[in-house]
Amino acid sequence: MTKTLPRACCRSVAANAASDGDTLVNISDVSTLDIGCFTYKVRELNDYRDEEGCILMGSTDVANNVISIDTSYNEEVVRETLLHELMHALLNDTHVVDEEVEEKLVRVLSPKLMDTCKRNPALVEFLFHREVHTNDKKRKRS
């Protein structure tokens, strides 16, 4: 008998799964993340499921400082999932919202933040690169 996955916990992910011709994302360069005063290990998984068999694209284990990402999806989905889980770790470090509110915030904000970064590369350059170019002069950011 084939086990069917419970609808409530499973996402529709078939359209986002990497096809046979796609290169699966390798996020091994992001093996750890420093978040607040904690260092999280980033775990790459394939066909990630919870104990009940529900499909998971990612999860954040704040008790053990582990972020797990299913890397069998296309690159865009893996990046968005990592950002989603990163935001869970960030919000957990603040201790200002409960789990239900946290999930709602992360689901609403993570795609908007990703979209804003994609559409504004100059902003990303300014925020995250060490050199800032002003009036054709280079100066180092502290």
User: How far is residue 42's CA from residue 28's CA, in Å, rounded to a whole number?
Assistant: 8
Give the tens place of pLDDT for each residue, 58-100.
999 999 999 999 999 999 999 999 999 999 999 998 888 888 8
Within a domain: 129: yes
Domain presence at residue 44: yes
Q: What is the CA radius of gyration of the chain?
A: 18
Question: Each residue of 93-129: pLDDT tens digit?
Answer: 888 888 889 999 999 999 999 999 999 999 999 998 8
Domain housing 84: 7-140
Cross-strand bridge partners of residue 43: 68
Let me know if residue 79 belongs to a domain. Answer: yes
**2 falls within a domain:** no
Residue 97 in domain: yes
pLDDT band at 31 (very low <50, low <70, confident <90, very high): very high
The structural domain count of the chain equals: 1
Distance CA 105, CA 4 (A): 30
Residue 1 counted as domain residue: no
CA 37 to chain centre: 19
